[in-house]
């Protein structure tokens, strides 16, 4: 298998939120950006229209690995939401052919509903290392990250949470390794590995989770999911890899 060109950069912010779709009143967050969210981030950097993001960054055109750089910490913030109509309009604006007189509506919408507080789980000071390989626009992506020339403002999940990007100078090539026992620095697909529990050291403070996370999406917002293993602290995972991992600098990574 050939080496893969990769651009590496830091993705960080003060707060972040990648909403779990099955959460209802309490909005929970994934601890790392799903592949679908990273596709949206790259679309913002390159100026790809929203409806074309899913097609431009599908599995055949984009590879991405995510490494946890800081321990995952969350807080619960009560967010106030209110639903307003377009204004206090209690009549129809449809004009008849002859003389016009206001026609009262049968159901007048509420125009000043009370504010409802909802708890929202937020990532606090999140920071990740992203390793991205594109079939197209790789040089443009590298240039825009280096020079901080983004078409749209990057965010950490929600538009209210602005994100920073920092280019990481590197040799820019991920080299394939043989399957087997490895210390993986990135989030790894559970189906592609088995965790070596006997290699874990409790005194090092591992905090390993298995999560079902969106993998691919469509323009109609339908998603497929994969299960991933991640360490909530920035420590590598000892695993038996069933597929090819990659050596990038001093780190061994796998793509989502």
Q: pLDDT per residue over 225-256, tens digit each?
A: 999 999 999 999 999 999 999 999 899 999 99
| pLDDT score of 118 | 83
101 against 151, higher pLDDT: 151
pTM of the full structure: 0.84
The pLDDT value recorded for residue 166 is 95
Q: Is the pLDDT of residue 150 over 50?
A: yes
Domain ranges of the chain: 4-77+117-253
Q: Is the pLDDT of residue 171 over 50?
A: yes
Exposure b/e, 60-71, CB count within 10 A at least 16 = b: eebbbbbbbeee
By three-state DSSP, how is residue 140 classified? helix
pLDDT at 13: 95
Residue % of the chain over a pLDDT of 90: 56
Mean pLDDT of 85-106: 59
Residue 111 has pLDDT above 60, yes or no: no
Residue 62 structure tokens: 């984009």
pLDDT computed for residue 200 by the predictor? 84
Asked if 30 and 145 count as a contact pair (C-beta separation under 8 A), the reply is no
Distance CA 246, CA 1 (A): 10
What the block records as the tokens of 156 is: 């950490």
Q: 214 or 219: which carries more pLDDT confidence?
A: 214
Give the mean model confidence (pLDDT) for residues 65-90: 78
Measured CA to CA, the distance from residue 118 to residue 121 in angstroms comes to 10
| pLDDT-derived band at 199, boundaries 50, 70, 90 | confident
Q: Would the pLDDT of 81 be above 80?
A: no
Report the CATH number of the 4-77+117-253 domain: 3.30.70.2660
Per-residue confidence band for 90, with pLDDT thresholds at 50, 70 and 90: very low
> Hey, what are 159's tokens?
């538009």
Question: CA-to-CA distance for 216 and 206, rounded, in angstroms?
Answer: 29
What gap in Å lies between CA 69 and CA 204, rounded to an integer?
Answer: 16
Instruction: State the chain's mean pLDDT as an integer.
Output: 86
* Start-to-end CA span in the chain (Å): 18
């Amino acid at each position: 298998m050939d080496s893969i060109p990769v651009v590496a950069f830091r993705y960080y912010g003060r707060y972040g939120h990648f909403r779990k779709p099955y959460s209802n009143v309490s909005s929970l967050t994934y601890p790392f950006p799903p592949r679908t969210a990273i596709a949206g981030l790259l679309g913002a950097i390159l100026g790809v229209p929203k409806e074309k993001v899913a097609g431009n960054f599908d599995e055949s055109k984009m590879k991405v690995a995510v490494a946890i750089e800081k321990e995952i910490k969350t807080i619960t913030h009560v967010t106030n939401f209110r639903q307003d109509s377009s204004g206090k309009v209690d009549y129809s604006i449809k004009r008849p052919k002859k003389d016009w007189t206001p026609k009262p509506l049968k159901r007048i919408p509420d125009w000043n509903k009370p504010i409802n507080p909802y708890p929202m789980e937020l990532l606090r000071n999140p920071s990740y290392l992203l390793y991205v390989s594109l079939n197209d626009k790789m040089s443009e992506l590298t240039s825009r990250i280096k020079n901080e020339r983004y078409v749209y403002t990057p965010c950490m999940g929600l538009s209210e949470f602005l994100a920073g990007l920092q280019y990481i100078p590197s040799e820019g090539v991920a080299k394939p390794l043989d399957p087997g026992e490895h210390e993986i620095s990135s989030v790894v697909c559970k189906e592609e590995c088995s965790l070596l529990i006997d290699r874990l050291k409790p005194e090092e403070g591992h905090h390993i989770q298995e999560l079902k996370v969106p993998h691919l999406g469509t323009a109609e917002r339908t998603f497929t999911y994969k299960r991933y293993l991640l360490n909530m602290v920035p420590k590598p995972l000892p695993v038996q890899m069933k597929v090819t991992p990659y050596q990038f600098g001093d780190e061994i990574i796998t793509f989502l």
